[in-house]
Structure 1
Amino acid sequence: MKRTWLHLRQISQEFWFLPAIMTVLALILAEAGIKAEETYGVPKGLHFVYGGGETGSRSLLSAIAGSSIGVAGTVFSITIAALSYAAGSMGPRLLDNFTRDRGNQITLGTFIATFAFSLYTLRSVTGSNDQVFVPHYNVTFALGLALASVAMLVYYLAHVTASINMTHVANLLRDDMRDSLMKATLREDPDRDLSVAPPPEFWAGGEVLHAPSGGYLQLTDNELLLKKAGEADVALLLHVRPGDYVFPNSVIAVGVPRLPRDVMDALSLGDRRTVGQDLEYSVRQLSEVAARALSPGVNDPVTAIDVVDRFGDALCSLQDRRWPDGVYYKDHVLRLVVPVTDFSGLTNSMFSMIRQYGKGSPSVMVRMLEVLGTTASCLKDDERRAVIRHHAELVREDALANIENSADRADVENRYRKVLDTLANGQDAEIREAARHAVRQAQGSRVN
């Protein structure tokens, strides 16, 4: 069932989906309007309904159809230009964020639906000697669609300009990342019983499942796998998780004492990674924006700093949440073990690439240490705080090895000591530092 919903969701996000639906609805409305007028006519009291004749309706519908398809071509051109800019400056993986944007789809759908409605209505206008028919309802509705098209054009020009703004893109990717994290993690429960996976020896001698084809693992239906393992009275171990590339004939699962039937029905392979269960994909999209911003051809550390801020936002939102352990029991019997993304792996995906590309940029390295220090004050778990300390050490080491200016090196050392102080003393150190910063700002304001 999850595979079906995944495919339906992917289809619904295609760029052509909403325009196609809107066009079909426009054709249905056009036919319904023609049939209604043929059957009931137009009441005299409806003064807003178009009252012209056959020649005027032909001219009006022709003008609406021609102008709407012409503007649709302009919209296509603007979209292609925006996509080219996005691919060059933010990476080709971000093209999905533009093509699946509902605003872009509705705008294009409005123009195409207006064209289809007007053209279909135009074919029903007749003016022969023995029969004259003017679809007054449809001509009136076509005028309304023309006005809606003008409004959508104004909206689209503003929308597409905002959509290629780096901050806007970073916020969209942050929202995707946050939603994925909230779905993948659980509320912290201090009374929960920890589930422990069996040792590797437990799986020795089990039946092995080889991948029938290659591709990215887009989705894992754990409920279906658990059901199949329970019905077959076996234990199942998955070797891959969403986001991994599965190679043909590679080992993807082991069943003890045997494999349940149709394991592949619960796994969905595709040609590309998708947002959802693949947590690191959303993170890597933001990391790629920062890496491109730090390239010598772009040299935009401000965008990289914006991305680092979004990563700190995501990590602090995990304060009261825990990762699933990936071990599933049913009736106190082990049935399923799946690999899961942990805090360490997520943090590596966030900061490693930016640190490697930005190690010569003092502003980026200083900001990374500041974000790590703030994150350390948000987190309570000792293991997570140890991960933050590890990344702070890596940032300090790379920064001192690549930054020559003594003042910049001193700033790095100062931020690093603040991270250690926060890790040692918790939120109290962060509060004291915020108070000192506020006092310095107040004193500077009085001096000015």
Structure 2
Amino acid sequence: MTVAVDVRLSGWWDELRDSLWLVPTLTVLVAVALPPLLAELEPLPTWIPPDLVFGGTPDGARAILSQLAGATITVLALVFSLTVVALQMAASQFTPRLLRTFLRNRRVQAVMSGMVGSAVFSVGVLRLVRSEGEGVDAFVPRLAVTAALVLSFVAVGLLLYFIHYVTQHLRVDVVMHEIVIFSTQQLANVPGDRDTIPDRLAPDPPAGAVPVWARRDGFLQLVDIDRLSDAARAAGVRLRLRPTLGDWVTKGTTLAWGWGNDDDTGPGGRDELSALVHRHVYLGIDRTESTDLAFGLRQLQDVATRALSPGLNDPTTAALAVTQMSTVLCRYAGHPLGDDVFEDEDGQVRVAAPRPGFAALLELAVGGARRYGRTDPEVIAALLTLLIDVAEHVADSADRAEVVEGQIDRVLASAELDDPVDQERVARIGRVAKETLRSGSRVATVADAT
């Protein structure tokens, strides 16, 4: 077994959760099993009012159920068409990395499940209806037919809701707001029990460390760091992973380095070391946001840079994306970041796994818009305003304040503005940003500055 059961199941569950077929498939199974169960209730108990259930003939039941099944399948085809259009628009207008977020959306999966379940349920009830003749008594599962009618109304309601949801969900501000919410939730996966805010950097492996080569291609999606450290301690080895969560790993390239308890000793057999590492990591076919702090910022940065492309030329959307990144960065700014380092009681590093630090996350958020929006005063102003927001959260941390100040200087230096009014405005916002960084709070003139 090359991957520990827990890690493998977690990786598979992420892939299943993000698929569009899992919940509808479970709904189909329920829709197949439910009609016979409802038929067992015939004749109906006396406490069920007869006026509330279907009272027609077998021929009438067949006609109704056939029409319901056909109409629901037709509506289901419309829903699938709307879904494909929504995915195409999201990929072309915003970023292809939004497709996974849309597919894993529980509302989308609920609509698909309701439509499929209603159609399958109607077909399942249809096969239970019997007409009298040739020694067979007429039978109409009245409660099941009634349930099929109710489900048809539910399917219509789901269609109306889905149309409303798609039209609302494709609004760029709603899309970015959902990315912000999910991104800030990822902080729960980052250890927050460190004593200091400065990013922790894992030590480099010693010269005698043995590389562990990846056995397959894929994005590094999961690392069971707790069990990996326990296994490394039991095996008498120390490990340093190379890729960060969300990085692409190519088969045959270095996935980690291993060495013995003493820096000048080897870790033993290379095959055993490789098996130990691969049992506790999961490489998937695409990047996920479940444990990746940078993924949400990457999505927002994609929206910003795509909006600044010549084909779209939408600096307003780019500035809005920068504003949303400010919300994410302000949450990250007050949280310990950097590499995950697991130490023994003697303070020696047992396992180290890289995570993006504050400087890398800030560059990810600012870099693309700074390069592609350097000629637009609104984008430059939005970037500087973002840095003002972040400055209020990092003024008491010398390391992070230095990173923010460096970004302020780079934004100002990269600005290519011909209008003297725009130049003065950007310079004024830059002064406000540096003053905020020095004082730790927003200066009173910020409204005029922005």
Normalised by the length of structure 1, the TM-score is 0.90
Separation of aligned partners in 1, 2:276 and 2:119:
48
Correspondence for 1:230 among 229, 233, 238: 233
**Matched residue type, 1:173:** I
Contact 1:229 1:335 in 2 (8 A): yes
Distance 1:370 1:193, change over 3 A: closer
Q: CA distance change for structure 1 residues 195 and 171 in 2, over 3 Å: closer, same or farther?
A: closer
**Contact 1:188/1:320, CA 8 A, preserved across alignment:** no
From 167, 174, 179, the equivalent of 1:168 is: 174
C-alpha change, 1:287 and 1:337, in structure 2 (3 Å) is same
The 3-state SS of whatever aligns with 1:209 is: strand
Which is further off, 207-216 or 389-398?
Answer: 207-216
Distance across 2 between alignment mates of 1:97 and 1:8:
15
Question: Is 1:254 aligned with 2:257?
Answer: yes
Change (3 A) 1:369 1:291: same
Structure 1 residue 431, shift from structure 2 partner = 4.1
Could you tell me how far 1:139 is from its partner in structure 2?
A: 0.3
- After TM superposition, the structure 1 = structure 2 runs for residues 315-326 of structure 1, keeping only pairs within 5 Å, are 315-326=329-340
3-state DSSP of counterpart to 2:252? coil
Q: For the Cα contact (< 8 Å) 2:199–2:337, is it kept in 1?
A: no
Contact 1:58 1:125 in 2 (8 A): yes
Deviates more, 1:251-260 or 1:109-118: 251-260
- 3-state SS of paired residue (1:262): helix
Counterpart in the other structure of 2:263: none
Mapped contact 1:220–1:241 kept (Cα < 8 A): no
Q: Is the 8 A contact 2:391 2:436 kept in 1?
A: yes
Aligned to 1:115: 119
Shift of 1:390: 1.0
Amino acid at match of 2:169: S
Matched residue count:
429
Q: 2:335 matched to 1:330?
A: no
Q: Distance in 2 between matches of 1:44 and 1:182?
A: 51
User: Which amino acid in structure 1 is aligned with residue 120 of structure 2?
Assistant: A
Give the 5 Å matches for 1:20-419.
Answer: 20-37=25-42, 40-41=43-44, 43=46, 45-47=48-50, 48-129=52-133, 130=135, 131-186=137-192, 189=195, 197-198=202-203, 200=205, 203-257=206-260, 258=267, 260=273, 261-332=275-346, 333-379=348-394, 380-399=396-415, 402-419=416-433
Conserved in 1, the CA contact under 8 Å of 2:54 and 2:143?
yes
Q: CA RMSD in A?
A: 2.3
Letter in 1 for 2:19: E
Shift of 1:70: 0.8
Between the aligned partners of 2:115 and 2:199, the Cα distance in structure 1 is 56
Superposition deviation, residue 387 in structure 1: 1.0
Q: Which amino acid aligns with 1:225?
A: L
Map of 2:444 onto structure 1: 432
Write the distance in 2 (CA, Å) between the matches of 1:185 and 1:398. Answer: 36
CA contact (8 A) 1:185 1:321 kept: no
In the alignment, residue 159 of structure 1 is paired with which amino acid?
Answer: Y
Summarize the Cα distance change of 1:144–1:413 in structure 2 as closer, same or farther, 3 Å threshold.
same
Given that residues 30 and 138 in structure 1 are in contact (C-alpha distance below 8 angstroms), is that contact kept between their aligned partners in structure 2?
Answer: yes
1:353 aligned partner, one-letter code:
G
Residue-by-residue CA offset, 1:235-267 (whole Å, 9 max, x unaligned): 111112211211222122222221645210111
SS of equivalent to 2:432: helix
Secondary structure, counterpart of 1:212 in structure 2: coil
Distance 1:117 1:174, change over 3 A: same
Contact 1:187 1:321 in 2 (8 A): no
Q: Which amino acid is the alignment partner of residue 254 of structure 2?
A: V
Q: Which residue in the other structure is 1:445 paired with?
A: none
Q: Deviations over 1:81-121 (max 9, x none)?
A: 11111111112221112221111111111111111000111
- Could you tell me the percent identity over the aligned residues? 29
- Normalised TM-score (structure 2): 0.90
Aligned in 2, Cα 1:7/1:210: closer, same or farther, shift over 3 Å? same
CA distance in 1, matches of 2:361, 2:303: 17
Cα deviation digits, residues 187-229 of structure 1 (max 9, x gap): 5635x999885565xx222332111222211111101210111
**Measured at CA, do residues 196 and 21 of structure 1 come closer, stay the same or move farther in structure 2, by a change above 3 Å?**
closer
Letter matched to residue 143 of structure 2: Y
Distance 1:158 1:302, change over 3 A: same
1:125-146 per-residue CA deviation (whole Å, 9 max, x = no partner) reads 1113232111111101111101
Three-state SS of the structure 1 residue aligned to 2:211 is strand
Question: What amino acid sits opposite 2:68 in the alignment?
Answer: I
Alpha-carbon contact 2:338-2:358 (below 8 Å) kept? no
1:444 matched residue in structure 2? none
Once structures 1 and 2 are overlaid, which stretch shifts more, 171-180 or 342-351? 171-180
Q: Give ranges in structure 1 of 5+ residues lacking alignment.
A: 442-448
Task: Show the counterpart of 1:446.
Answer: none
Name the CA distance, whole Å, in 1 between partners of 2:200 and 2:316.
43
Aligned equivalents of 2:391, 2:200: Cα separation in 1:
27
